[in-house]
Structure 1
């Protein structure tokens, strides 16, 4: 109910330069593992979804926050639903620097195919047409990282440094 009230409050707000952030953590991670696997040609193949899957994907939520804010100020405390980012993630510091504490709601068990946010692969056309939708597909390199084999038998490393990503390969 608290999330519903927040969404209702945000929808009534006047248009401004403030950003309201709602993170469905489970779906950021789950869909990200499929989307980035396809974009980077990484990971193993998931026959059930007929898609590549990169299980080693990790998200830096502080960098994700910076990415989605795109230079704008927060309009309220970010809301995170689902598994909590680790205590050492940069999100906690970045939110506090802006005068807020992140509101975290633990996840209710919902199968990942029923609810997808944020990645192009997980959005139906209906939500995209009624909201300002900016796909994470084009900016994942500023907040996602991982280490894992690719189909060529090499090890591919996605490393974030100062918002830029370095991609390296070494033979296994």
Structure 2
């Protein structure tokens, strides 16, 4: 039979008291379609599952009645009914039909999914369904993690907390340009995954200076990066909204798993609430610092209460480091020197491997392209690092320093002996 055969049935929105009539009408339409299409396209199991679903889901069957009433092509009706068997298409239809702002986000931020040619009445129900259908991804549930990072939120509060934890006042006060705090995003992602599978990772942040390799390193680790110019208040315009849009796209086009947000702003509470409604597990990772003398902004209490919260304070050594000279005159210093350093594409990353494997906080100062001073809290730590470099870089020159402070103008004077 011709699959474009038009149904003579007319469906209208009914009240809850006539829900049994809705179910009967749907059952009749399923039976009618089954006489048009062969068993391979519309099996007895399909029909049974649909009837069972709509028997329980009263609200959803009213929505599908409205949908089918806009269609005259039986092939389209069959395809839309079969989409409900995935459990994803219905979710999208129901959410977008009842939340106009989500549809606007879809059109504004994901234009690739928006057809180039469209009917004059763009926002008819059937056209919205067509738009949503292009985004449906029917996959089996898994234990993967989708990560969303608000970099400025992470960085600003991290500098305050790590600067105090490592007793580097110039970092938490931001008083010197030659002493800098860094976050290694690849190591951060590895830290928060805790052995789980990464589905995707998104970072929102400001545009760095031309010679800054921050975002190049992040992209190298598989993160999708979006950057914005800062405004007069030193804030990224649109950053929070864009992060929410990335997250919402994942919620509505992927099967439920875990969404992990690295941010502490209370503006993300609605996102967490929506994710939980969609049966996603939600983790938030952010700085705490509640026991530090100079208390930073820290984690928003509301966001913390509605999610599974983990403090970054307990893991900072695995993904942060500080570069620049030390003026405390109480560090054990190891100088590393060698032309091999010039071949390192991201030289800070190589040093972090050493510190992470030794479970130490990374701090160093680059003298030039082939020489760095590595700072340690004790001679024992220095000896461990020296052994590490001898194993991994046998030809590198290593020197042990006895630091003698000479004033801040010249950073420091040194007496060194070859090891």
Quickly name the TM-score band, shorter chain normalised: 0.5 to 0.7
119, 138, 153: which is aligned to 2:287? 119
Matches within 5 A, 1:70-149: 70-75=194-199, 77-83=200-206, 86-89=214-217, 91-95=218-222, 102-106=224-228, 109=231, 117=264, 118-121=286-289, 122-148=298-324
Larger relative contact order (Cα-Cα within 8 Å, sequence gap ≥ 6): 1
Cα separation, 1, equivalents of 2:225 and 2:204: 8
Equivalent position SS for 1:17: coil
Long gaps (5+) in structure 1:
6-14, 46-51, 96-100
Q: How many residues align?
A: 147
- Counterpart of 2:92 in structure 1 is none
Higher helix share: 2
Structure 2: gaps (5+ residues): 1-104, 110-140, 208-212, 241-262, 265-285, 290-297, 334-347, 363-374, 378-402, 405-411, 413-419
* Separation (CA, whole Å) in 1 of partners of 2:305 and 2:320: 26
> Could you say which structure has the higher strand fraction?
1
Query: Alpha carbons of 1:32 and 1:68: their partners in 2 closer, same or farther (altered >3 Å)?
Result: same
Tell which deviates more after alignment, 58-67 or 154-163: 154-163
Aligned to 1:48: none
Deviation at 1:108, TM superposition (A): 5.8
**TM-score, normalized by length of structure 2?**
0.30
Say whether residues 1:168 and 2:294 are aligned partners: no
CA distance in 1, matches of 2:170, 2:164: 10
Between the aligned partners of 1:107 and 1:37, the Cα distance in structure 2 is: 26
1:53 partnered with 2:147:
no
CA RMSD of aligned residues (A): 3.6
Q: What per-residue deviation string (whole Å, max 9, x for no partner) do you get for residues 81-124 of structure 1?
A: 112662541x32332xxxxx614253664667xx9621114212
